[in-house]
Amino acid sequence: MAVGGVRYCKQHNRPSEKETLIMKILGISGSQRPDETSGVHMLVRTVLENTGCDYELVSLRGKNISGCSACLGCVEDNVCKIRDDAEPLRARILAADAYVIGAPNFFSTLNATTHAFLERWYQFRHQTADALWGKLAVVVGVGGDDGAPAAGPIEMFMLYSFIETVAKVTGQGAACCFTCGYGETCDVGAIRMMHGPDFKITPETTPSVAKQPDVMQAAADAGKLLGQRLTTGHDRAEVTKKVQKMMMDLFASST
């Protein structure tokens, strides 16, 4: 199915429906690791596969995406003027009914690649532009220790566009100290911090989200929930109202 020049992968087991009813989900993996070794990529893919909806999974790996430059060039027309690899993603963001967005935890927040990509969603916000309002999302975070510090800020980005996060999925991946070559001896690395001295790096002791059945189940459940929410009377106006209230409450409590 082509929407705005974008081709969405069709699920083989879909019932035949009018194309206009098919829900489209855009998945974003913000990891810079190869897709095969990225926990973020694996969880985002698992969520998508369980939605029963059409989806496209885009990896930000190797993409050249700068953050918002605050040039305000998007104020009149809601189109970002920075020419880089975020530009071709604009049509996909607009065409999607929902998002599955994942990032690794870098220094107790989401990594810069995903942050830069999400900053560019500023282009959709001006003059009461409602292109994203009331859409749905699942957010994913993976950390060598904890994925939650990456997932939380992604949910916040979604709130700014009045998008409801229906589920957060977090898991533990392998910190780079497992593969840097010095992990067992480095006094300040993640391995000493998490496991103390005398820890041996082996394939068995190296974390992976694939080895965490509860995390994989949470990803599958999140996908099913997102699919259900999208296909059973998703009312964007109602979701918008709910999320706008959440935002107002959030700002009111911080002032």
Ligand X SMILES: Cc1cc2nc3c(=O)[nH]c(=O)nc-3n(C[C@H](O)[C@H](O)[C@H](O)COP(=O)(O)O)c2cc1C
Residues that bind ligand X in the complex, under the rule CB under 6 A? 31, 33, 38-40, 104-108, 142-146, 173-176
Min separation Cβ 206 and ligand X, Å: 11
Residue matched to tokens 């859409």: 135
Q: What is the 3-state secondary structure (H, E, C) of 175-217?
A: CHHHCCCCCCCCCCCHHHHHHCCCCCCCCCCCCCHHHCHHHHH
Contact 9, 26 (CB under 8 A): no
Min separation Cβ 204 and ligand X, Å: 17
Specify the DSSP class assigned to residue 14.
P
Q: Smaller CB distance to ligand X: residue 142 or 218?
A: 142
Contact 173, 208 (CB under 8 A): yes
Q: Smaller CB distance to ligand X: residue 87 or 146?
A: 146
Q: Smaller CB distance to ligand X: residue 145 or 221?
A: 145
| Alpha-carbon separation of residue 127 from 76, 96, 160, 182 (angstroms) | 8, 21, 14, 52
Min separation Cβ 100 and ligand X, Å: 14
User: Element (H or E) spanning 227, and its range?
Assistant: helix 213-231
Report residue 61 CA to chain centroid gap. Answer: 13
Min separation Cβ 215 and ligand X, Å: 12
Residue matched to tokens 């998002």: 99
Q: Smaller CB distance to ligand X: residue 151 or 243?
A: 151
Q: Where are the beta strands (DSSP E) in 51-150?
A: 54-59, 98-106, 109-110, 136-143
What is the crossing angle of helices 148-160 and 112-119, to 10°? 10
Min separation Cβ 177 and ligand X, Å: 8
Q: Smaller CB distance to ligand X: residue 173 or 183?
A: 173
Min separation Cβ 56 and ligand X, Å: 19
Min separation Cβ 144 and ligand X, Å: 3
Q: Smaller CB distance to ligand X: residue 134 or 207?
A: 207
| Alpha-carbon separation of residue 247 from 48, 90, 158, 226 (angstroms) | 27, 24, 11, 21
Q: Smaller CB distance to ligand X: residue 105 or 161?
A: 105
Query: What sign has the CA pseudo-torsion 9, 14, 20, 21?
Result: negative
